[in-house]
Amino acid sequence: MRDEFPEPTQLQAVSRRRFLQISLVGGAALLAGKSDVIFGADTSKTSKMTINTTFTFGGDLTVNRLGFGAMRVTGQGIWGWPPDRKNALKVLRRVVELGVNLIDTADAYGPDTSELLIAEALYPYPKGLVIATKGGLTRPGPGQWVPNGRPEHLMQAVDGSLKRLRLERIDLYQLHTVDPKVPIEESVGALKQMQDAGKIRHVGLSNVDPDEIARARKIVPIVSVQNRYNIEDRKSENVLAHCENENVGFLPWFPIGGGGGLKPENPLNAAAKAHRVSVVQVALAWLLERSDVMLPIPGTSSVAHLEENVAAAKFKLTPEEWKAIDALAG
């Protein structure tokens, strides 16, 4: 499997806009407060399963399951500095205030800009904050994403991320994609060298299939996989199943999808109306209930949208609602 890399800003902007256009509810109940409030279970409603609110990577790195993707704090086209730098810093600081302790980024976001902004906003980092970053995609220009999985490039990329993030060790470093010109064994071999040197704590993969995961695991332990996955796009269902079997974290990118094929009367809208939330929150809640290894990382450049996303962790769908939404993929 090899995913395309279309313009990320357009993908995610369309996602939220189209979901909100089909929503029957104009507003969302936003939460602001401590992590024990945001991530507390709502026992007044039943759900498909008992939901674990945290996940532990590699047996020793525990995070809340709803994270934050820091791609969209950069400029238009995921290129350069944001038009409102103060707002980007405000969003990143609000992430931590809301109890989110997993921030996902990459050297390709900007390039470099996202990592620099994270350090500017949050360094010295609060205890327990996990910053996951990625390498292996280069950016010749806006809207361009070119794989580079050569070992020498990846080792330089790790050092660059360490410097920009002001870290001595990266808790979770992910291969951003498999370079078709470089065997995955060589790419992850470089990451293992950096792990052995104490520069990486855990290694993850992104945009991979089960065979590539198996090949990588022969070289180094893999604790996470980041593939495209949402209510309408479940091409990575076999990858998710693999992650569940191996207790590997699954970080779905583009987690709220596009909602383009849904009729106005659909289970997403029905659940949103019943819970008095937005369909975006329903989509995130569905992911959280889909699997205990699922760690959605929705991104935004808006504090209001951030608060809305994080609030999705506070409620549960009923089993009937969850099954109805799950059937949308069919």
What residues are annotated to the active site?
Answer: 109
Q: Are 53 and 64 in contact (CB under 8 A)?
A: yes
- Beta-carbon contacts of 146 under 8 Å, excluding residues fewer than 6 positions away, are 137, 138, 139, 140
d(CA 326, CA 330) in angstroms, rounded, equals 8
φ, ψ dihedrals at 76, nearest 5° = -60, 140
Residue type for position 123: Y
The closest alpha carbon to 25, from 323, 286, 294, 280, belongs to: 280
Q: Provide Rg for the chain, Cα atoms.
A: 19
Strands of 249-250's sheet in order across: 68-69, 102-104, 130-135, 170-175, 200-206, 222-226, 249-250
C-alpha–C-alpha distance, residues 224 and 227, integer Å: 10
- The widest CA-to-CA distance across the chain, in whole angstroms, is 55
Query: What is the DSSP annotation of 184-226?
Result: HHHHHHHHHHHHHTTSEEEEEEES--HHHHHHHHTTS-EEEEE
Residue pointed to by tokens 């800009």: 113
